[in-house]
Structure 1
Amino acid sequence: MADGEERTTLRPLRPATPRTDSGGGPDGPATGLPRPRRPWLSSGKPADDAAPDPPPTDPVPAEAIDNAAGTTSDATTPDRTDATAAESTPKTTVEESTPESGAPAARRRRVRFGHAVRLPGPRAAARATRAWSRRPSGRLTLPGVFLLVLVAATATAGALLVPATLGAPRPVAVDATADPLPSDLPPSGQVPPPGQFPPPTATLPPGVTPPGTAGPAGGRPSDALAGWARDTGAKVGIDPIAMQAYGYAELVLAETDRACGLSWTTLAAIGLVESRHGQANNAQLGADGRAVPEIIGLPLDGQGNRMRIADTDRGELDRDTTYDRAIGPMQFIPTTWEEIGADADNDGRKDPHNIHDAALAAGMYLCKGGRNLTIPGDWWNAILSYNDVRRYAQDVFDAANRYGQASRT
């Protein structure tokens, strides 16, 4: 300032926003601010290009200032100040813009607790299991798990299959087959009527004792029924010795198993069908009740609809060391006799060829398992357990029915 006039040239201020021109000049257009990290917090409006700064004002020459009469620096300062303020005022609102198209950013959808639990898919689970199986713990655990599963499957199969094959009761007599049920079988609601004396509720007559106890001197326990056996046997056509055996078996079971309700007519029917009361194969009952010669059935070799049972008694009872055979007046299989054999005449022997022992053993077998032979279902099941042939059960029913009716005449 030499002559009292201000000759300093005013230069515009720099804009507040960065410029994009490569030259770095002060007049380049301004761009928008960078997009924030969280676009959902912005207003979502498309960003507009920043308004270009106004062109800078050319400096006023010193000659124009000198020639201006009565003009002071105060007169020109307001105009320059206003222009400078207008140029230097930054934008107060910066809207978000995309780098390329300028389209508004998509609002991200937030799901509550979406990241809290993430369940692995089947492939991830398979990969994890495969990786675990390669570890020492997996190599020890997996074989143990497979072994437990195998043992459980075997036990389940055994529980289902073994009772069906081994648990079924084996028939007592021979020729057990699975013939279809004949159409002429009586309805299951019927049982053969009991015979006349001794009734199921009768007690043992004087001198008659259950097997295993001391009998009366000079005779068998069943000899007390000799009179009844002679009279009733004449009515029904049965040898008195066989009648004594059937009647005595009913009385013994009436004392030892009252719930069974066995009648002598059922035992007599079985004796008729099996051996004609001990007279099959030209045999005869002796005074002691033993069938002579011994009644021995065909070998159980699987032929002729017979069961196949290999020898179990080494030929002691059936005289056959290859296959088992049905034996005695009631045709017991040796294995069944070993289980259920009885000594009804108190001679100290369980003889399947003696009709007294065989009749009592047959009655005990029919009453086995808590059966009540006064119930039709139990009666039929008992006969079929003795010999699982439908025609056989029908023949026993018919014979028992005839004996019961004939004994009451």
Structure 2
Amino acid sequence: MSPVRWLRAVAVVVAAALLMASSCSWQLGIPIPDGVPPPAGDRVPAVDTYAKGRPADQLHEWAAERAPKLGMPINALEAYAYAARVAEVENPNCRLAWTTLAGIGMVESHHGTYRGAMIAPNGDVTPPIRGVQLDGTSGNLHIADTDRGLLDGDATLDRAMGPMQFIPETWRLFGVDGNNDGKVSPDNFDDAALSAAGYLCWNGKNLSTPRGWMKALRAYNNSDQYARTVRDWATAYAGGHPL
């Protein structure tokens, strides 16, 4: 994913995002207090954001050394780290750490392995991970179908999709191609991680501050417990181990 393509994709959605009525979150939330953002963790090596093929492959050696200790698939860590590195290069004021993306990915889908799902070398997650119908029950928001079932497979109500659990409308606004395959898929880990980076940076502005980090997490899922759980996992990953 080139920085030009990433910036162009984000620029297109910024104006539309102001009209967005929903986010990646599907749970009804409660106010959460500001707190200290999780540590950044190990520094991600520099990458060529214009690289052909799957750009996250550039981080294979870095990720292969760390992923087993963190209890996550190597290609998931590659995707988190690449997305954070692109955000750092293209939006240095955002200060998004890969640990935050990893914390979200763990909570949302166990890093793309929920219910036995697996991540292919190109980042595709199979079988596709889908959340429950957003029917307004059990603490969920009620979100009527927005994509005629084309993305989430449900023509009645929306469902969260993929390893980072985007809802269709949010994906339409923020989804980008992270592995250079010419497709924008919520079921591809590279696409989902890079899209999540853009979404978090747009909402949080500066995630190194308590207010910015909390604002970004509120946009993702407006839940007190959710933010705490993501922060706990992210902090553990920064320390080189899972919870």
Q: TM-score, normalised by structure 2?
A: 0.87
Whether the 8 Å CA contact 2:203–2:219 is kept in 1: the answer is no
The structure showing larger relative contact order (alpha-carbon pairs under 8 Å, at least 6 residues apart) is 2
The residue that corresponds to 2:10 in the other structure is none
Correspondences of 1:242-321 after superposition (within 5 Å): 242-321=76-155
Q: Distance in 2 between matches of 1:167 and 1:315?
A: 22
Shift of 1:178: 2.6
Which of the residues 185, 197, 205 maps onto 2:43?
A: 197
The residue that corresponds to 1:173 in the other structure is 25
Alignment partner of 1:387 is 2:239: no
Three-state SS of the structure 2 residue aligned to 1:327 is: coil
The residue that corresponds to 1:118 in the other structure is none
Give the superposed CA RMSD. Answer: 1.8
Q: Distance in 2 between matches of 1:340 and 1:388?
A: 18
Three-state SS of the structure 1 residue aligned to 2:193 is: helix
Correspondences of 1:90-129 after superposition (within 5 Å): none
The residue that corresponds to 1:60 in the other structure is none
Alignment partner of 1:209 is 2:61: no
Structure 1 residues 173 and 370, CA gap change in structure 2 (3 angstroms) = closer
Q: Deviations over 1:257-301 (max 9, x none)?
A: 010001100000000000000011221111221111000111111
Whether the 8 Å CA contact 1:203–1:255 is kept in 2: the answer is no
Q: Please, which runs of 5 or more residues in structure 2 have no aligned partner?
A: 1-17
Shift of 1:315: 0.6
Q: Distance in 1 between matches of 2:73 and 2:227?
A: 23
The residue that corresponds to 2:13 in the other structure is none
Structure 1 residues 369 and 296, CA gap change in structure 2 (3 angstroms) = closer
The residue that corresponds to 2:11 in the other structure is none
Percent identity between the aligned chains? 43
Q: Distance in 1 between matches of 2:153 and 2:163?
A: 16
Matching residue's letter, 1:244: E
Matching residue's letter, 2:49: T
Structure 1 residues 329 and 336, CA gap change in structure 2 (3 angstroms) = same
Aligned length: 224
Matching residue's letter, 2:55: P
Q: Deviations over 1:164-207 (max 9, x none)?
A: xx968523132x213465xxxxx734111111121xxx642xxx
Shift of 1:406: 1.4
Q: Distance in 1 between matches of 2:237 and 2:90?
A: 24
Correspondences of 1:66-85 after superposition (within 5 Å): none
Q: Deviations over 1:128-178 (max 9, x none)?
A: xxxxxxxxxxxxxxxxxxxxxxxxxxxxxxxxxxxxxx968523132x213
The residue that corresponds to 2:65 in the other structure is 231
Correspondences of 1:314-393 after superposition (within 5 Å): 314-369=148-203, 371-393=205-227
Higher Cα Rg, which structure: 1
Matching residue's letter, 1:224: Q
Q: Deviations over 1:202-246 (max 9, x none)?
A: 642xxx325xxxx33xx4111111100100112212110101100
